[in-house]
DNA sequence: CTGCCACCTCAAGTTAACTTTAAGTCAATA
DNA sequence: TATTGACTTAAAGTTAACTTGAGGTGGCAG
């Protein structure tokens, strides 16, 4: 059993964050000693996974979905694979954007918008990034 | 010359966002017609670049730095390439994380933390993600 | 000239993900 | 037993990136 400061130390996460995560249902404490929360050490694994997800740009809510209405530590493997695929798509877009930045830095066209290369990259970057060439557009 | 609704239509960005961007120094209007802002059409290119940067996960402040204390449209090519490199590193991490998610979904180790594969992925994912194996750690 | 309406400004509201603060509790130590 | 100090809760504060709302202005169609 670990108290919150122990978990904080071992996970590198602020205690306030751990309480916040518990409040949001991302982790659970298994009991109390007086007022003080007690955690089992598998919370550390859970926290590692959460950090992994956060680093990948997923919201806490999305991460919560990755864990089953779980019998303990069980992870929802299907959701996990879904997220991996999602991440794959993100990566594709980031590659395009990276190439777009490099291109923009090097291209000497007077206006980037006239460069087909640049326009292609914008379109790969995703929704709302591409101004239509001339005229009508979805506005919100 | 374009008024704000024209820019909004062509860029697909809400007028409020355009005003906000101007306030933050990311775009400029070139004059007024009465109260109404007037933009030249190269603002569209600028906006495309901003969207590009946002889609890549850069903050408005970071994006602002990508533009020179600029003689007009000139882009700070050096900063642009820096950001591309930064993005490259982000991509590397995301690839690791994606692999980490896939691994976690498939690995049958009782505890992922005991799996060297998983630990390697965590460490690739970056700062603060890796709980030390046992004991002493940076806490904030 | 009058009034409309798209635009304006400035302030306040919104969301996510936390942190900070104030006031309280309680197990362990002296 | 009294004090200490790490922990507790609840509420409020913080930041980024916007949006929304209230109240104002001024070209231009009629």
Task: Name which of B5, B87, B98 is nearest B54 in CA terms.
Answer: B87
Cα atoms found within 13 Å of the Cα of residue B91, Cβ hemisphere only: 18
d(CA A27, CA A18): 8
Q: What percent of chain A has pLDDT over 70?
A: 82
CA distances from B42 to A127, B19, B28, B47 (A): 20, 16, 10, 9
Q: List the A61 CA – C15 C1' distance (angstroms).
A: 13
Question: Is B124:B93 a contact under the CB 8 Å cutoff?
Answer: yes
* Tokens found for residue A5: 């400061």
The model's pTM is 0.78
Confidence of residue A19 (pLDDT cuts 50, 70, 90): very high
Which of the residues A103, A105, A122, A130 would you substitute to probe the B interface, choosing the one with the greatest number of B C-beta atoms within 10 Å?
Answer: A105
A–B: how many Cβ contacts below 8 A? 165
If you count them, how many residues does chain B have?
140
Whole-number pLDDT of residue A75 = 62
Question: Is B58:B50 a contact under the CB 8 Å cutoff?
Answer: no
* pLDDT of B55 over the 80 cut: yes
To the nearest whole number, what is the mean pLDDT of chain A? Answer: 82
């Amino acid at each position: 059993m670990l108290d919150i400061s122990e978990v904080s130390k071992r996970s590198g996460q602020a205690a306030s964050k751990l309480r916040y995560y518990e409040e949001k249902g991302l982790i659970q404490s298994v009991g109390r000693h007086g007022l003080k929360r007690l955690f089992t050490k598998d919370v550390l694994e859970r926290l590692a996974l959460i950090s992994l997800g956060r680093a990948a740009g997923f919201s806490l809510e999305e991460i919560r979905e990755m864990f089953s209405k779980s019998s303990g530590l069980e992870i929802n493997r299907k959701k996990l694979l879904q997220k991996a695929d999602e991440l794959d798509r993100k990566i594709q877009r980031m590659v395009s954007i990276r190439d777009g930045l490099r291109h923009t830095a090097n291209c000497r066209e007077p206006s980037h918008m006239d460069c087909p290369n640049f326009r292609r990259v914008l379109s790969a970057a995703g929704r709302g990034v591409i101004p239509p060439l001339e005229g009508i557009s979805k506005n919100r």
